[in-house]
Structure formats: C-alpha cells, structure tokens
Structure 1
Amino acid sequence: MTCEELKRIPLISILEYLEIPCARMNSREAWFRNPFKSGNEKTASTKVDIQRNIWYSHSEGLGGNNIDFLLKFLETDNLSRVLDWAGERKNILSFHQQTVWDKAPAMRLDNEPAYTIISIKPLGNRALTDYLSDVRKIDLEIAEAYCQEIYYRTAKGQGFFAVCFRNDAGGYELRYSYDKRSLLTKGITTIDNDNKDVVLFESFMDLLSFMTLKKNAGKAYLDANYCVLNTTANLQKAFPFFQRHNGITSYLDNDASGKKSYQILLGQFEKNAHRKKWNQATTGTGQTDQGCQ
C-alpha cells in the first residue's frame, strides 16, 4: 500500500477495525475514546474530522492524518511497517469502511433543516466512481444503470456531492465515504423486471453488491424483481408490491432490526410461506439470506 492509498481510507473504518468505541458521530465529525489506551477512558477525547479525514487527540495532545495515527498506534517511527500493516489488512479495512456507514443512522448536520439540490446528473465524477469501484467493489456499469450523482447545499451554505439512488416517492438516498443521508421524501425503491419473484434488500448498496456478485459469477441478475426498503421502517410500504409476486427472497441485515422485519414479513405472508435454511449472504454487509417462498 502507498502513502496516498492509506490516506484515502476513512480513519473511522480503521478505528472500527481496531474496535475503538465511538461515542458519537454526525456527518462532520466522530468522537472516540482514546485509541492509544484501547478506548479506556470515560469521556471521548479523540475527534475525527470526517470530511478532511484527520484526527486530534485532546488527551494525548497530538493529531494528524492516517499515517500519523498508525505511527502512534503501532508505536513505531518506521513508515514501511505502517504501510505493511495497512496493506495486509487492505480488504478488511475496505469491508469496515462499508459497514461503518451502513450501520450508522441516516444523518444530517446539526441545526440544518433544509437542503437545496443544485444538480443531479449521470455518474461521472471520478471521486464517486472511484468510491464505488475501488472502495465498495461495485461494477460501474451496474452503478450507472441505477444511480446518479447529486450536488446539494445545506441551509448553512455548505456544498456536498454524493452518489444518489432514487426512491419511488421522489426522494434520494445518498452515499459517499463521509456521508450517509436521505434528501426529500423517504420511500421504498422497486425495480420491475417483469418477473414473478422479488428479492428484498435494506439498502441500495446491498442491491448493487448483489448484482455485481451475480455478474462476476457469470449469472443473470435481471431475472428477478427487486425491492429496496432504504430503511426497515418502510417495510409495510412494500407489502402491495410483494403481493404481486409468487416468492420473496430476503437479504435483510442479520441484526435485530433485520430479524424483526423478517419475522413481520414471514407473518404477513405465512399462508404462502415456509421456512428454509439459507447460506450466509455474500454482499459484504454481514447479512443472512432468508427466504419466503
């Protein structure tokens, strides 16, 4: 791994990999308990500026970029050791880079009730395509078919851009390395490929990962209809769409919310459903593949 590659990894993904407790986080900053003492302190003293990807530890009185952090954490002055350490964990850190945002609540900046959408256009921004292909390992042809890039400004005049995914209610789900939020109206997203079976996901990144895995394996990925909840709170909004199908395959997250939603789904369609044992899903989000047929 090169210095520039290491600097591009979000520091919060490194901290999550190291299992350092995060006390609080919004789309601008995250606060962690002292990572150099294994997170053993009562009050979080280490701040990570998410947008600039730099840190400062008030308890240690020092800060810097990812390289500075790992030099301190690994207790070394040897840059090669730091790069080797990061290189050996490159794939793991990429995985944590995904999950740290997938598990965070949709966020907005403090005291900013409104946004102004400046433009929405086809994917082309190199920063966003690199994020999708290099970080999230998404096939760009698939991403371009279902996503766009959005430019927007907050009420405080701060400008941002991100990958966006439209829902059926006219709102947008946004993802980038420093951002996860929704704009306008929350809703489900349905994709109708004129099929009798539907595959269910919680987030659009799960959908894109699933399609990418299918394509890489030489398998068809347009042989089913799809539904993305965009939040498990939208589950009941998807029931009318589900009722048009003969079978439902669920790739909801293997966490409390995902399991609860699956049980609700099973109860709603139990007359035509029976339990099956499924293999662990491989969408890169730690999910379990559950099915209703």
Structure 2
Amino acid sequence: MNIATAKSISIIDLLAALSHEPVRINGDRYCYRSPIRNETEPSFCVSKKRNEWYDFGLGQGGDIINLGKRLFETNDVSAVLSRLDKLNLNKVVHPSEKVRVATAQSVVKMEKVHLQPLQYNPLMSYLRSRHIDIAVGMKYCKEIWYTHGKKRYFGIAFENIQNGVEIRNPYYKGCMGHKDISIIHAESIGVQSAVCLFEGFMDFLSFKTLEKQGDERVCVGELCDYIVLNSVANLQRCLQRLGAYEHVYCFLDNDKAGMDGCRMVSNTYPTKVIDMSDNYREYKDVNDCLIGREKYEWKRKET
C-alpha cells in the first residue's frame, strides 16, 4: 500500500475497525472520545467529506497517516501503511476539489450571532495547528459564536468591507452575510503606494507571521496596505481599487486559479504587478510555506 491509497481509506471506517464509535453525528462531523488519549467528553472530530481529523483537546489534527502514527505509536510511515493494509478496509471516493471549494464557500443562515475578542482555547489551538502567531491572530481576527439548526457553533471571524464575516474552524469554511474583499490599511498615516494581495485570510495571517519572523521570502521593502479576496471570484471587483497603487504584490496560490488571477492583474496593470508566488514555489500557498509542507508531497513519495 502507498500513501495515496492509504488516504483513500475512510478515517471513520478505520476507527470503527479499532472499536471506536462516534458519540454523536452532526451532518458531516463525527464526534468521538479521543482514541489517542483518555477523555470523558468527546472532543475528537472527523470530517467525513474531507476525511480529516482534529482533536480539540490537543489542538492537533491531520489525515489518516498522521492519525495512524498516533494510533499505532510509531513515526514510521511504512509501518503505518503496513498496519492499514492488514486491516483490509474499503476505499472511499472523495469529492473533487471543485466540489470541495463549492461546499467550503457556503453561506449558511446563522442566528444568535455574537462577536468578541479572540480568546477561546480550541480556536487558539487551531491557529497553532496552522502555525499562525497567536498575537497576529488576535490582532486581525475575532471570535464568533452562532446558532445554526438549533446547535451552537464557534469559529475564527475575519470581517470584510460589507460587514460580512469569513468564518473558519478545523471543519468549516464559510461566510456570514455578504461575501466581499477585506482591506487592512497600513499602520502609517497617509496613502500607501503599495498593496499586498492575498486569496484568503489564513494566507494574510501567515504572511504577517512570516514577516514578524523576518522571513525574507515575504519581505517587500515598503509600507503596504493589504487586500484579502476571500475568494478568487472577488478579484474582478477589486481590480479598479488596485489601480490606486504603484506596486501590487501578488501572494496568490500556486495553482491554476491563483496563476490565472495573477495573470488577470498583470494584464490590467502590466507595470505594477510583482508576482511573489515564486518565493514559495515549492508550496501551494503562503500558509503551506509557513508550515513547511511541500507542494504535492504525497505524489513525490508515491513515485
């Protein structure tokens, strides 16, 4: 068995084979008492669609390989693959990336919404799992609590220019209210001559974390405003706004959508655009660069 095949195995099926049953099921989310530590209240969750797990008590998560290392008490990937192969579990077909994106960008009806300063430990743990500096997260984000379908949920909130809110937690990516771009102005008086452009706010937070660490891959050498698209679909509506700047630093993803987006901006402002994605060309995006996950790592391991 190789890594790609192992990742096609359902984590839910793996847990069932090891006699771990969910305490409750809320749509896509399966909640368990953690199989990798002792606890009385369920805080270990699995997303069936993404086939990923997250332990809120530990503030850690990942795919079936990461889980296998903990379940089988080994750091040897080959040993994990061997154990999974012996279990003879069925393989599952996961949604295409296009379907995942469509689901991720969903806008749901939320009630009893409450925004407050970011402080809830599970959300702090989630930021740490993405290697985001906590002080950076607290500065630019808030904490949101809301009710949906008579259940109470929470997430990290990032506001846009129409008072809508982008929401993230380990198993949800969506928006409350109108979806639009977010603008963060430089902490300096006056109009800035440069702007940095990001697809999502996790990339922006990753940029600010890397900048705080003095990482030369993201340094632009001048004071900047920041625009977060919150979806590449919003690029068209901010093109005119970008024209106000002398320099546009594009920190878009190293995938087709990101490259097409950078090309669109470059075609509109051919003398202004600086494509920064080459500085993290081995990674999918700025957050992957911060974490250190190489682009298409599993494909290289498979071959």
Amino acid at match of 1:152: Y
- State the superposition RMSD in angstroms: 4.4
Deviation at 1:48, TM superposition (A): 7.4
Amino acid at match of 1:20: K
Alignment of 1:111-122 (within 5 A): 114-122=109-117
Alignment of 1:47-58 (within 5 A): 49-50=29-30, 52=32, 53=44
Deviation at 1:216, TM superposition (A): 1.2
Are the aligned partners of 2:202 and 2:287 in contact in 1 as well (CA < 8 Å)? Answer: no
1:284 aligns with 2:287: yes
Cα distance change on mapping 1:234 and 1:50 into 2, 3 Å:
farther
Deviation at 1:20, TM superposition (A): 2.3
Alignment of 1:205-220 (within 5 A): 205-217=202-214
Amino acid at match of 2:202: M
Cα distance change on mapping 1:274 and 1:80 into 2, 3 Å:
closer
CA displacement 1:22-71 (0-9 Å, x = unmatched): 8xxxxxxxx689789xxxxxxxxxx97455545699xxxxxxx99xx779
1:144 aligns with 2:109: no
Question: TM-score normalized by structure 2?
Answer: 0.61
In the alignment, the residues of structure 2 paired with residue 72 and residue 142 of structure 1 have an alpha-carbon distance, to the nearest angstrom, of 29
SS at match of 1:278: helix
Counterpart residue number, 1:264? 264
CA displacement 1:77-97 (0-9 Å, x = unmatched): xx78524348xx9xxxxxxxx
1:20 aligns with 2:7: yes
In the alignment, the residues of structure 1 paired with residue 141 and residue 46 of structure 2 have an alpha-carbon distance, to the nearest angstrom, of 32
| Farther off after superposition, 277-286 or 179-188 | 277-286
Are the aligned partners of 1:201 and 1:207 in contact in 2 as well (CA < 8 Å)? Answer: yes
Q: 1:82 aligns with which of 65, 70, 73?
A: 73
Amino acid at match of 1:122: P
1:159 aligns with 2:152: yes
Question: Aligned residues, how many?
Answer: 226
Counterpart residue number, 2:39? none
In the alignment, the residues of structure 2 paired with residue 120 and residue 56 of structure 1 have an alpha-carbon distance, to the nearest angstrom, of 25
CA displacement 1:234-257 (0-9 Å, x = unmatched): 001212321110011111111111
| Farther off after superposition, 276-285 or 118-127 | 276-285
Deviation at 1:158, TM superposition (A): 1.6
Cα distance change on mapping 1:217 and 1:73 into 2, 3 Å:
closer
In the alignment, the residues of structure 2 paired with residue 191 and residue 20 of structure 1 have an alpha-carbon distance, to the nearest angstrom, of 38
SS at match of 1:82: coil
SS at match of 1:151: strand
Counterpart residue number, 2:58? none
Deviation at 1:223, TM superposition (A): 2.5
Cα distance change on mapping 1:198 and 1:34 into 2, 3 Å:
same
Deviation at 1:280, TM superposition (A): 2.1
Counterpart residue number, 2:52? none
In the alignment, the residues of structure 2 paired with residue 20 and residue 278 of structure 1 have an alpha-carbon distance, to the nearest angstrom, of 29
Counterpart residue number, 2:178? 185
